[in-house]
Every structure is written in C-alpha cells, then in structure tokens.
Structure 1
C-alpha cells in the first residue's frame, strides 16, 4: 500500500516537524515501520500574494477590534495547499492521501481516498486554548468550514482521543462509521526494556517524592498547581522535590530549595534526550494539571519509563490516562489536598506505587507506542482501501 503523506511542514526529519512536538515525523515513521510505502508531500507553501497580509490583519484586529487573528483556516491559504497537493498527486501512484491535520486536504479534490489523523477539532479548541479565544467571526466561520469540508471529503477520520472523535460527530455531523480513535504514541526513538524500567522503579527513593513537570507553558499546563502540591507535601512531612523542565516557574515568592528549574531541554539532541530520560527514570510522577490539552504525548513518554501521570479530566487526557492504571486524573478545580492525599497514600503502602508504575509501563507497551498505533492505523487503511 502506497501512502501520499501530506504535511504543511517538513515531516521527513524530527527537526523539520518540531512545530508539533515532532508528532508529524513520528506518524510517518509509524507508517513506514508497518511496511507501508510513504511518499512525502510537503512542506507546502503559502501563496506569495499573501506575504505580509496575515501580519497586517493581525495588527488590524488587535488594534481596532481587540481580537486574536489566526490565519490557519484562511480559504486562500487552504485552496493554495490543495492545488499544490493535487499537482504533486498527478506524479504519484499512491493508494491513499494521508494527512496529519485537516488543513492541507479541506479543499482537496482527488480520485483517491483521503484520511487524516488529528488530535482535535476546532470546536474542541475554540475558547479552550488561550490561542483560540477572542477570534474574529470570519476566522471562526472559516475554521468551522475547514473542519466540515475535511470531514465530508475524507474516507476516514482518525482522532487521538474519544473527546475529539465525539466532537467530529456531534459538532460537525460526521458519519460515525468513518470516525475512529487511535491514540498517538510516545515520541521517543527507543524504549527501555522491562527489566531496565523495573530496576529504575525499584531504585526510586521510598522516603522522598520526586515530581517532574515538563511544559513550555507554566500557566496552561497547571504549573502553579504542581508547585502547590509539592509545597503542601513538604509541609505535611513527605520530603518532595519538583523539577521543572521547559519553562520558568511563575511564582509570587522566591524559588524555594525544593524546586529545580532546568529551563528548556531539547530532545532533538542526544544530550537532551539522555537528560530527559534520566529525569523521568528518577521521578515518581509526571505532574501536569493542565487546564487545556488535546493529547499530551509527554504522558506516553512518561509511561514508557514507568512513570505514572497526575493530570486533569480535560480534553483528550482521559483517553491516555486511566485512573489507577497509569496515573490519576483530578477535576480541573480539585483541591491541592486531593493530589497530596493520593500521593501520600501510595507512599504509605509503597508496593501500591510500584505496582502502579509497572502498570504505567504496561500501558505504554500495549497501547501508547507508535508500533501498536501504527498497526491499528494500517489495519484501518487497509479496510478503507478495500471498501
């Protein structure tokens, strides 16, 4: 089976697809590792006539309407993408057109089945992510239209969470029979063996809790909650460390000794990968009390190293984290004591923590890795072509 893999960015390398945490690259790799022939179509270019126009529009809406302009669903751009893809398809013998987002295929006219694998719909993210609030009405209209057209044109709409799949059906009237759910895998090159992860779990201290917070957005990812949890645990008698990677803590008080702020660590370098892996292996929990998220792949990465995740019941997170299986979810407005009680209970009976950590690794190994996810998508593609 031959796949025409369409992306607006360069998905051939991890560095080229960093704008989506490398997910576009790993999607392609997951398909290739299923012995599917992948022909890359991308990066796509914006129309030359639009150069500078989005910047002007953004300033206009900000200054005169106090609105947040986003260009991603502009029909002029989307139609240009579609023309570029159609032109390149004329020179390919692909069986399926496959896209990681709906943008390049919303206006695409072609004689081959169209499939996409996305992490959310516009209805999901509007007024959910700060970036997609206070939008002009025309932008909102264009974005909804993009979603509708993509769902009408596609043979198969794959989403990384039940939350996103339900939105496609209920918000855009998508045919339920062509909407499927396949979570994304962990964006890591290679996982450690069961024995290595088990040894790491056994080596974690039983009298000290090590929390890891990885995010580039302290506020949206719930950094203050993570900090308050670590602070309260220390006050209650359980010595706790909070390591922050990706951003600087925004605190009203000076940084206490129990918080280690390491800044941004790039996974595109071998040194960065090694450092992040070491941090995971030494940590008891990844804590990410996010207030808005589609499918945080960092949860899958944590599980791959036997680290349970503490997060919130928002967006697509419940598809990844199952309570007391690979972590624990809390209400977005949960009390800090709810997190602390859960952690202290596990430390009081540490065998329960070790069982949870091993269960987290099993979730990665059986469900949250690109090998398993790629196989599921391959099976869906095969069925799609046959029908």
Structure 2
C-alpha cells in the first residue's frame, strides 16, 4: 500500500491548526508512505435556511459544519478526490467527510482524539452542546460501522467508541499521538539533567489556556499547601492570565501566552520546562492532553486528575501521579512529598516519563505504527452509507 489520501477539515500544512496535530500527522505519514495526497476542506458556505437558524440560535448552538448541507458537501469533495487520486487507502481526521460519503471502494479509516459526543459530554461544563449533536452522534456511529477502522489515542476513547458505536473491538485501534513540540535533547542528556535536580525548592509548571478546565485553581492550592507545610514550592503558569489572590502571588509566576513564532517566547517556554521538577495540570476534562506528552519529553513527572484520556498519556505511579476529581489539594501534596522523600523514587518516575515519550509519545513511532495498521487492512466491504 503506497498511496494514502488524508482528508481533514483542518489545515495539515499549518502548524497552528489544531495545535499542530494535523501538521505533524501529515509529516509522519509522508515519511511512511510513498505518496500522501491531502484534501483540506474549509467550512462550506451557508444556505439561506442554515443562515437564518444560525442567526436565531447563535454560532455555538448551530455550527455550520454540522448541518446536512455542509456534511454532504464534505462528502462530495471526498468522493471526487478518491475518484481523481485513486488512493490505496483513505485516512480522515475526524468524521465530517465520511458521514454521507457512502462506499468508497478503498479501505477507509477515521482518526480523532475521541468519538465526537464523548468529547462534547466530557467538556459540557465548559463548551456548548449544539442542537444537532444527537443527530450527528448517531450518524457518526452509523458511519463507523461501515469503514475499515477507527483510531484513537487513548484507552478511554477506544472504549467510548466500542460502547457508543457498537462496532467490533477489532475495528477500534489504539494509537497515541506524538508531542507537537518536545525536548530535542538525547535521552542521555535528559537523564543527566534529571539526576541533577535538587527538588529544593520544588518547581511546578502549569500550561493551559483554559484556567478553570485545566484545573488551575487546584494547582495553586497544591502549591500553597506545600508551602504551608514548610516545603518551598513555586508554580509557573503559561498560556493564560488568571486573576490570583494576593496570598497566591508570592508562590505563582504568571508568564502568560507564549507564541511559538517568537524566538524569545520559545526560549522562555524551554527554560520553564528545563527548570521545572513536576508538570502540574489537574485538568477536569481532557480527551488526550498533548502537553502531557511534551512534558514527559523533558523527563517531568506529571501530576494530573484521572480524567478521560489522561490515563492513556500518563501512567499512574510510573510516569506521574493521577488522582480522582474529588481529591483534596492536601492529599495531592502529601503524595508528592512521599514521592520525593522515597530514595530514588522521583528519579525513576522522571526517567520513566522520558522513556514513555521516546517509545510511544512521538510522531516517528506514530508514523510507523499507522502504516502497519493501514497496510494490514482486511479488504472487507467498506460501505459507510447512513441508514
């Protein structure tokens, strides 16, 4: 199998699109297939009825990409591209192109971070669920039954696909994404830095745009609790500008948004990773969490909640510590103290984190594994026409 068609509503040539995931995925595919054709579809123009409904309900309640008109347009584009390019297989990022595509006469795979409704329900406290969501979820489930396979980066997402789609387990494939930016140093250099960490004072790093969803208040509470127990600890915050209480400001340094396009911002980000002892992002909702992969590339143990896809990126008690959502800051602080006080325990966890990145959480590994997966296509009938 030499020629792969990659279809997406994102821009896989733009490293800023979806945090760089389609961009890095395309590059990984190009290293592993002789030819990769790309279909990148923007949102179709709205019809009069869709425009009126969008004005009545609002953009979040009535997104254009979810309308029947848009989905049929996506399908037509995919069908035309398959007919013209004649690929050996098709890989679609998310399901928009596939909902109404019907039989394509080639093996078709869909890859995403989670089944669409699983993602929306996980994030429902922070994002609006559109009016057309139940219909779209049903169409996605019907589509999944007719294609060669669906690919997700975490066990949680795979289990949600089996439960929601009703597909055979052999059609659901676990394949972690790679870190979109990462430490480029060798394993040996990262290991040497890990062994040089003094852990006194303790330095924690938080990265995220959504302060509440990412668990920023809990991260601050953990650092405050450690300081209250006589352990010097600080927290660097990147990606947002939270309003902090006066009592928190002595322990928290807010660096704000750092642009990957600016050399000085990239240097600041790299320094924050290099100077940290732990990556502390107790996110309440997370389908995957690419930043956990990035942190582990620096040999940082991750402190996080046992939320959705995070256990697929962070291995509890091996590359980090995971906690239930109801866990108190006091308990998290006590577990961190127990870790750093046990001889050799911190270093083993930090080195295991780096090894997880080296072996699993990188795009080179992704590329070779997805080629093996797609080239082993069973050749079954692939009819994804909705009933």
Would the TM-score normalized by the shorter structure come out above 0.5? Answer: yes
1:10 aligned onto 2:6: no
1:128 aligned onto 2:129: no
Q: Could you tell me how far apart the structure 2 residues matched to 1:47 and 1:131 are?
A: 29
Deviations 1:93-138 (A, max 9, x none): 31111111111222213221111111111331233213776635x4
Secondary structure, aligned partner of 1:333: coil
Q: Could you tell me how far apart the structure 2 residues matched to 1:336 and 1:310 are?
A: 11
Give how far 1:175 is off.
2.2
Residue of structure 1 equivalent to 2:160 = 167
Residue of structure 1 equivalent to 2:298 = 305
Q: Could you tell me how far apart the structure 1 residues matched to 2:273 and 2:225 are?
A: 22
1:115 aligned onto 2:113: no
Q: Could you tell me how far apart the structure 1 residues matched to 2:350 and 2:29 are?
A: 29
Residue of structure 1 equivalent to 2:361 = 368
Q: Could you tell me how far apart the structure 1 residues matched to 2:121 and 2:54 are?
A: 18
Give how far 1:337 is off.
1.2
CA contact (8 A) 1:82 1:105 kept: yes
1:283 aligned onto 2:296: no
1:39 aligned onto 2:33: no
Residue of structure 2 equivalent to 1:60 = 56
Give how far 1:235 is off.
1.1
Counterpart selection for 2:249 from 256, 263, 271: 256
Moved more, 87-96 or 262-271: 262-271
Counterpart selection for 1:233 from 209, 219, 226: 226
Secondary structure, aligned partner of 2:293: helix
1:322-361 matched pairs, under 5 angstroms: 322-349=315-342, 351-361=344-354
Structure 1: 5+ residue stretches without partners: none
Root-mean-square deviation (CA, aligned residues, Å) is 2.3
Please give the TM-score of this superposition, normalised by the length of structure 1: 0.91
Distance 1:36 1:105, change over 3 A: farther
Give how far 1:51 is off.
8.2
Give how far 1:268 is off.
4.1
Moved more, 116-125 or 44-53: 44-53
Moved more, 328-337 or 104-113: 104-113
CA contact (8 A) 2:182 2:298 kept: no
The number of residue pairs the alignment matches comes to 378
Distance 1:112 1:272, change over 3 A: farther
Distance 1:291 1:271, change over 3 A: same
Distance 1:318 1:115, change over 3 A: same
Give how far 1:72 is off.
3.7
Deviations 1:195-234 (A, max 9, x none): 2212322333331111000000000000000010011111
Residue of structure 1 equivalent to 2:384 = none
Please give the TM-score of this superposition, normalised by the length of structure 2: 0.91
Residue of structure 1 equivalent to 2:93 = 100
Residue of structure 1 equivalent to 2:22 = 24
Distance 1:167 1:98, change over 3 A: same
CA contact (8 A) 1:287 1:311 kept: yes
Structure 2: 5+ residue stretches without partners: 381-387
Residue of structure 2 equivalent to 1:149 = 142
Deviations 1:59-93 (A, max 9, x none): 52369xxx844444222111111111222222213
Moved more, 72-81 or 229-238: 72-81
CA contact (8 A) 2:7 2:93 kept: yes
Distance 1:256 1:284, change over 3 A: same
Q: Could you tell me how far apart the structure 2 residues matched to 1:132 and 1:77 are?
A: 25
Distance 1:344 1:104, change over 3 A: same
Secondary structure, aligned partner of 1:126: helix
Higher relative contact order (CA 8 A, sep 6+): 2
CA contact (8 A) 2:282 2:304 kept: yes
